[in-house]
Amino acid sequence: MRVAVLKETRSAENRVALVPLGVKNLVKRGLTVTVQTGAGETSGVSDLMYREAGAEIAASAQETLEDAKLILVVNPPSSNELAHLSEGSILVGFLDPLSDPDLVSRLIELKVTGISMELVPRITRAQSMDALSSQATVA
């Protein structure tokens, strides 16, 4: 399975959806990870660090998304990026579906599953997936 990590396009966004340690763990489990060039730049993570962790580096969002089944983002992708998602793929990030019904409609139209991390319940069983607390720590 190919995992894609897009470069965030919102201004003043310094986070990245996956760090090199995460890449290394996914690659060790047999997944292929493609990172868009410059994705970690504002987080202090170079393309070389991703490459050393086992990721492939792609020059554009379109190239990054090619054949990707799992797409990791911090914020929702742009309309242009959405157009390159494959049918049946899974988009994971802070998607804000309650405030952006157009995004939800577009994902349905594209037959893409969206997992919005801010809506994962903050309960003990899901504590390891509590993205809001972890992001508050780094903010």
Asked whether residue 136 carries a pLDDT value surpassing 50, the answer given is no
- Tell which residue, 48, 53, 62, has the closest CA to residue 31: 53
pLDDT digits (tens, 9 = 90+) for 13-40: 999 999 999 999 999 999 999 999 999 9
Q: Give 30 or 120, the one with higher predicted confidence.
A: 30
Rounded to 10 degrees, the C-alpha dihedral 32/15/22/54 comes to 50
Q: Residues 116-121: contacts with CB within 8 Å, 24+ apart?
A: 117/92, 117/93, 118/94
Asked whether residue 8 carries a pLDDT value surpassing 50, the answer given is yes
Q: What is the mean pLDDT of residues 121-132?
A: 57
pLDDT digits (tens, 9 = 90+) for 75-111: 999 999 999 999 999 999 999 999 999 999 999 999 9
Alpha-carbon gap, residue 19 to 17, rounded angstroms? 7
If you average pLDDT over every residue of the chain, what do you get? Answer: 91
- With residue 47 as reference, give the H or E element that holds it: helix 47-53
pLDDT score, position 31: 99
Break the chain into its structural domains and give their ranges.
Answer: 2-138
Phi/psi at 79 (nearest 5 deg)? -60, -40
- Tell which residue, 11, 63, 20, has the closest CA to residue 40: 20
Phi/psi at 15 (nearest 5 deg)? -90, 160
pTM: 0.89
Q: Does domain 2-138 have CATH number 3.40.50.720?
A: yes
Q: Give 33 or 127, the one with higher predicted confidence.
A: 33
Asked whether residue 126 carries a pLDDT value surpassing 90, the answer given is no
pLDDT score, position 130: 53
120 pLDDT band (50/70/90 cuts)? confident
